[in-house]
Amino acid sequence: MNSNSIKDVNFKGRKVLLRVDFNVPMDDHRHITDDTRMRESMPTIQKLLTDGAAVIIMAHFGRPKGGFDAALSLGPVAKHLEELLQKPVVFFPELINDKVREAARNLQGGEVMLLENIRFYEGETKGDESFARELASLGDCYVNDAFGAAHREHASTAVVARCFPHDKYFGFLMEHEVRNLEKLMHGAARPFTAIIGGSKVSSKIGILENLIPKVDNMVIIGGMRYTFTKALGGKIGNSICEDDKMDLALALLKKMDEAGVQYYLPTDSVIADNFSNDAKTQVVASNAVPDGWESMDCGPESCRKIREVIMASKTILWNGPAGVFEFPAFAKGTNEIARCVAEACEQGTFAAIGGGDSVAAVKQMGLADRMSYVSTGGGAMLEYLEGKALPGIVAIEQ
């Protein structure tokens, strides 16, 4: 990756086409509620501007159905970008036309331009080569800092890179993400513990199978654990379960046994009489959930056991919540894992956090800065952990 880093390249006098991930959450009034993804790309943007480059930024927002949509315009992002950079940002709330092209041609070193939502173009998600060439014509080199979109074979994330065979680079954020994931998957200190949660086994099959040869401990949490518990003969009441994946769950457990991986399924659960934050609750054995009740979180004994595993680990991967994290009454297990992982990091453990709820938990608790690495890319990180090649990375390295 060294030859593709922007670190030792001077971009003075260059017109840089920069792809970022500014797909930030907004409230109903179109106010940005979390600008983490924007702030994470600031070092790359500042490096290019300090060099004296003219920077033309490409980004997406939401999932437009085709054509311009004012509700999905990057206007609020452009305004906030001006605040972060403390300088004007050239932005036109319209698709690329002669006016936009002229503004790009006239952009001077040290100036920034943000193109309108790149997904307004049908050719973006189709990976259209002619659209990629149109984008490439706006700059004379390409930098990809959008790890969150690196798993997409889109025009602006992968195809456009081929238009710059000798002038394509990773931004600092992309480089940071890939280095940490490579360290996690190919150079992990042992014991290596994976904590995998979420609602469905089917969404995590690839990750579990790819991790089994690499980890020492596998902690299976969240709703997906009940497919394993039922497959092992337990009573799970109304808890979420993929009945058609029970044979797969048993096969995965057998693979772990054969690979010498210690696996942990929560032994007790906080259960509720309905799916609500205000439901009646009780703590029971995970394999003895009464009819009419459903598991909503890990119980206290399970949390203690997970803590023991975490504190004995040198490397941790955490992806997915322990329970119904969106309800405060059932966020205790997830929050306890976050606290334990932060404590382990302070003792020298390397911990990687990925996935929406896991990242949300460490942020809400103010623990993100205490973690070794918090990924900005949900889907991209998942596909990397499954062992898949990410088009946005491959296109730069080719």
- State the DSSP code for 120: G
- Backbone torsion region of residue 237, taken as left when φ is above 0, otherwise alpha when ψ lies between -120 and 50, otherwise beta: left
Give backbone dihedrals phi and psi of 209, rounded to 5 degrees, phi first.
-65, -40
How far is 45 from 85, CA to CA, in rounded Å?
Answer: 9
The yes-or-no answer on residue 37 being catalytic is yes
CA 68 to chain centre: 27
How far is 333 from 311, CA to CA, in rounded Å?
Answer: 16
Q: What's the token pair of residue 97?
A: 């036309």
The yes-or-no answer on residue 47 being catalytic is no
Through-space distance between the first and last CA atoms of the chain, rounded to whole angstroms? 11
Tell the burial category of 69 from Cβ atoms under 10 Å away from its Cβ (0-12, 13-18, 19+). middle
Sign for the pseudo-dihedral over CA of 385, 391, 396, 397: positive
How far is 310 from 305, CA to CA, in rounded Å?
Answer: 9
- Residue showing tokens 């990629």: 132
Catalytic residue among 200, 255, 307, 363: 200
Catalytic residue among 37, 119, 204, 370: 37
The yes-or-no answer on residue 7 being catalytic is no
How far is 235 from 192, CA to CA, in rounded Å?
Answer: 31
How far is 351 from 368, CA to CA, in rounded Å?
Answer: 11
CA nearest neighbour of 312 among 344, 359, 280: 344
- Residue showing tokens 């997915």: 320
The strand pairing partners of 353, in sequence order, are 318, 374
Catalytic residue among 52, 110, 356, 378: 356
- Residue showing tokens 């001006």: 82
For residue 200, the tally of other CB atoms under 10 A from its CB is 15
Tell the burial category of 296 from Cβ atoms under 10 Å away from its Cβ (0-12, 13-18, 19+). buried
* Host H or E run for residue 91: strand 89-91
Reported residue count of the chain is 398
The yes-or-no answer on residue 223 being catalytic is no
Give backbone dihedrals phi and psi of 288, rounded to 5 degrees, phi first.
-140, 50
Catalytic residues: 37, 200, 356, 379
